[in-house]
C-alpha cells in the first residue's frame, strides 16, 4: 500500500478517517494495520494489500484456505495473533472461495491479450486525463495498470486477494489496489473523475451499483461493460439488466451516454479457461458522462 492512499481511504463501517500502523515497509507499506479513529475497526495490510472488509472474520470464513496462507505470509507477532484469532472465530464455510478465486485469477492472467482489452484501451485513450480514477472489479489490474500511465492517481478494488496479489506485482507510484466489497464506501465522500466497472454486473445488483457510482462522480465519466451473463444459480442477482435497461437506468441517474455507445455493442471477449477450452463472450460497452 502506498502512504498517499491514506488521504483517500475511510472506514467502510462508519466513514471515519483511518490511522496507519506500520509493521514492515519497503517501497510500500508491506504489513500493518489501518484502524478507524472512531469505531476502532481494524483492517489488516498483508503483502502490501489492505483488506478493507467490514467483517474480516466473515471474509475469511468464506476463504479458510486463504486465511491459512495469510497467516504464513505475515511476520509481526501482533498480525499473526490477529489472523489466528480470526481463524479461530470464523465459521467454516463448506463453499470455500479460495480455489475458485485463484483459478479465475490465472484465467484472467492468461487472457490479457484478448482483443477486448485493446478496444477498451483505445476508447480510454480518447478520454481526458483525470486526477482520480477508480476501477471496480479490477481483478489482476490489466486496465488499472494501463490507466496509471496517463492519469494522476488510480485505484483498483476487487474481492479477490489472489487477483490483487497478481496486480500488485507491477508497481507504480500512482496506482494502488484494495480488497473490498464493490458496494462498500472505501473512499467515503471522495468524488472521482473517472470510474470503471467492466463485466461485474453479475456480482452485485446492477441498479445498486449504478446508484452507488452516481454518488461518486460529480463531473466525470463512467465506463461500464457487461456480457449480461446473470445465470449464477443461487448467486444470481435478483434484478438483472439487459442493454436497454442499463442505458435507461444510467440516463435516469443523470448520465449522458456517448453517441458512439448509445447502441448496444458486441465486443469479443475471449477467456482462455485451459489449453483446450475458451469462453467466448459478446460484451456490451458504454461510456457515460455526468
- Yes or no: say if 48 and 30 are a contact pair by the CB < 8 Å rule: yes
* Residue-range definition of the domain harbouring residue 118: 104-289
∠ CA(265), CA(268), CA(270), 5° rounding?
150
Per-residue pLDDT of 227-286, as tens digits, reads 999 988 777 899 999 999 999 999 999 999 999 999 999 999 999 999 999 999 999 999
Closest to 9 in 3D by CA, of 130, 131, 134, 129? 134
% of the chain beyond a pLDDT of 90: 95
pLDDT at 86: 95
- 70 secondary structure, DSSP code: H
CB 28 within 8 A of CB 1: yes
Q: SS3 for 10?
A: strand
Is 112 in the same domain as 71? no
| pLDDT value at residue 155 | 98
Q: How far apart are CA 76 and CA 253, in angstroms?
A: 47
Residues 157 and 15 grouped into a single domain = no
Taking all residues of the chain, what is their mean pLDDT, rounded to a whole number?
96
Last residue of some domain: 48, 63, 96?
Answer: 96
**CB atoms closer than 10 angstroms to residue 134:** 26
DSSP letter for each residue of 91-153: PPPSS--HHHHHHHHHHHHHTTT-HHHHHHHHHHHTSPP-SEEEEET-TT-HHHHHHTTTSSE
Whether 148 and 227 map to the same domain: the answer is: yes
- C-alpha angle 169/164/267, rounded to 5°? 100
As given in the structure block, the three cell numbers for residue 117 are 482489452
Considering the entire predicted model, what is its pTM? 0.96
In contact, 152 and 130? CB cutoff 8 Å: yes
Give the CATH number of the domain where residue 278 resides.
3.40.50.150
DSSP 17: B
Q: Which residue has the cell 491479450?
A: 113
pLDDT of 89 above 90: no
Q: In this predicted structure, which of 8-12, 110-114, 153-157 has the lowest mean pLDDT?
A: 110-114
State residue 214's pLDDT score: 97
CB 272 within 8 A of CB 103: no
**124: confidence class by pLDDT, cuts 50, 70, 90:** very high
Number of separate domains in the chain: 2
Residue 5 has pLDDT above 80, yes or no: yes
pLDDT at 92: 78
- Average pLDDT of the segment spanning 133-162: 98
Q: Which of 96, 116, 137 is the last residue of a domain?
A: 96
In this structure, the answer to whether residues 44 and 148 fall within a common structural domain is no
113 and 67 together in one domain: no
Amino acid at each position: 500500500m502506498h502512504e498517499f492512499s491514506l488521504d483517500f481511504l475511510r472506514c467502510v463501517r462508519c466513514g471515519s478517517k483511518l490511522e496507519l500502523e506500520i509493521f514492515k515497509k519497503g517501497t510500500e507499506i508491506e504489513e500493518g494495520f489501518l484502524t478507524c479513529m472512531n469505531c476502532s475497526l481494524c483492517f489488516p495490510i498483508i503483502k502490501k494489500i489492505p483488506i478493507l472488509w467490514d467483517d474480516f472474520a466473515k471474509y475469511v470464513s468464506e476463504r479458510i484456505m486463504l486465511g491459512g496462507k495469510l497467516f504464513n505470509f505475515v511476520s509481526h507477532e501482533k498480525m499473526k495473533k490477529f489472523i489466528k484469532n480470526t481463524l479461530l472465530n470464523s465459521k467454516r464455510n463448506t463453499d470455500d472461495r479460495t480455489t475458485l478465486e485463484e483459478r479465475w485469477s490465472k484465467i484472467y492472467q492468461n487472457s490479457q491479450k484478448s482483443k477486448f482489452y485493446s478496444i477498451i484501451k483505445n476508447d480510454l485513450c480518447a478520454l481526458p486525463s483525470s486526477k482520480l480514477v477508480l476501477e471496480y472489479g479490477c481483478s489482476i489490474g490489466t486496465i488499472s495498470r494501463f490507466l496509471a500511465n496517463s492519469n494522476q492517481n488510480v485505484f483498483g478494488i476487487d474481492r479477490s486477494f489472489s487477483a490483487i496479489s497478481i496486480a500488485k506485482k507491477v508497481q507504480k507510484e500512482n496506482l494502488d489496489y484494495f480488497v473490498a466489497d464493490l458496494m462498500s464506501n472505501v473512499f467515503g465522500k471522495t468524488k472521482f473523475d473517472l470510474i470503471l466497472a467492466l463485466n461485474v454486473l453479475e456480482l452485485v445488483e446492477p441498479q445498486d451499483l449504478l446508484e452507488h457510482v452516481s454518488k461518486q462522480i460529480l463531473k466525470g465519466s463512467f465506463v461500464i461493460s457487461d456480457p449480461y451473463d446473470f445465470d449464477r444459480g443461487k448467486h444470481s442477482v435478483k434484478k438483472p439488466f439487459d442493454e436497454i435497461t442499463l442505458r435507461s437506468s444510467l440516463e435516469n441517474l443523470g448520465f449522458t451516454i456517448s453517441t458512439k455507445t448509445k447502441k448496444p455493442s458486441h465486443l469479443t471477449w475471449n477467456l482462455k479457461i485451459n489449453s483446450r477450452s475458451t469462453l467466448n463472450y459478446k460484451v456490451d460497452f458504454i461510456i457515460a458522462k455526468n
